């Protein structure tokens, strides 16, 4: 035995010590890798409580405390009048305001011989309710050349009406609705300056063809006929 050890140390006897160490190292490495990969393969064995704590986001921070309520200062007003009489003030005010009363207008001096309650501009010795002969007549107001009246007023002046024909194309296309026209009624009661304001173009043209034949009584203002502008509404319903 002693001889064998001497021969082995001397390198005479060949052994498999290098391969044994290499195989042992590989086995240990594989064992360590298996132990590391085992929790990743079999996740059921891991503690679920700890895993959920890792995945759940932390709770938000608490909100800031609400601001403090403002302090309301109650100002107590002390009246200077007690039981209908002015009491003695408790302190001297810093500013004394002067109260100025409105002066009453001086009575107007009437004309000698006038009547109490007479109207301004009267003459001495005149009669109450009488007409002064020297007074100038009121100026004559010029009659305006053109007025604007509502459609209701213009409807009351109409004396001849023509019903508009429903366009055949509008019947086929089922087009209906109201048409609004703007027109001028001359002093003779004839429609002038007629144009459409609102409505379907097909219906506007049919309404204008009928309204052009309408006749109106002249609009009288201050005893004279004047031109008026108005709106005319024509309805088309199937």
Three-state SS for the chain is CHHHHHHHHCCCCCCCHHHHHHHHHHHHHHHHHHHHHHHHHCHHHCCHHHHHHHHCCCCCCCCCCCCCCCCCCCCCCCCCEECCEECCCCCCCCCCCCCCCCCCCCCCCCCCCCCCCCCCCCCCCCCCCCCCCCCCCCCCCCCCCEEECCHHHHHHHEEECCCCCCCHHHHHCCCCEEEEEEEEECCCCEEEEEEEEECCHHHHHHHHHHHCCCEECCEEECCEEEEEEEEEEEEECC
What pLDDT does 149 receive?
86
What pLDDT does 62 receive?
87
What pLDDT does 156 receive?
87
pLDDT at 126 over 70: no
Residue 197 neighbours by CB distance under 10 Å: 13
What pLDDT does 1 receive?
46
pLDDT digits 0-9 by tens, 56-81: 677 888 888 888 888 777 666 666 66
More reliable by pLDDT, 181 or 37? 181
What pLDDT does 20 receive?
86
Mean pLDDT of the chain: 75
The domain 146-236 is placed in CATH, from the list 3.40.50.1000, 3.30.465.10, 3.30.2420.10, 3.90.870.10, at 3.30.2420.10
pLDDT at 227 over 70: yes
Q: pTM for this structure?
A: 0.41
What pLDDT does 106 receive?
60
Confidence of residue 157 (pLDDT cuts 50, 70, 90): confident
pLDDT at 132 over 60: no
What pLDDT does 180 receive?
92
């Amino acid at each position: 035995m002693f001889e064998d050890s001497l021969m082995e140390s001397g390198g005479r006897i060949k052994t498999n010590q290098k391969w044994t160490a290499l195989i042992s190292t590989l086995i240990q490495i594989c064992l360590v890798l298996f132990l590391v990969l085992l929790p990743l393969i079999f996740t059921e064995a891991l503690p679920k409580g700890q895993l959920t704590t890792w995945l759940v986001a932390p709770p938000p921070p608490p909100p800031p405390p609400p601001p403090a309520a403002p302090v309301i200062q109650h100002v107590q007003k002390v009246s200077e009048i007690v039981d209908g009489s002015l009491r003695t003030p408790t302190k001297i005010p810093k500013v004394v305001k002067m109260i100025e009363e409105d002066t009453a207008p001086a009575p107007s001096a009437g004309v000698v011989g006038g009547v109490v309650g007479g109207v301004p501009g009267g003459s001495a010795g005149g009669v109450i309710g009488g007409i002064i002969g020297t007074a100038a007549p009121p100026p004559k107001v010029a009659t305006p050349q053109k007025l604007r009246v509502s459609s209701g007023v213009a409807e009351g002046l109409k004396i001849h009406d023509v019903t508009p024909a429903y366009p055949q194309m509008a019947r086929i296309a089922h087009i209906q609705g109201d048409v609004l026209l703007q027109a001028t009624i001359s002093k003779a009661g004839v429609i002038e300056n007629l144009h459409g304001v609102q409505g379907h173009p097909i219906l506007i043209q049919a309404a204008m063809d009928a309204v052009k034949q309408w006749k109106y009584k002249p609009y009288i203002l201050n005893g004279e006929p004047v031109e008026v502008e108005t709106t005319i509404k024509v309805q088309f319903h199937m």
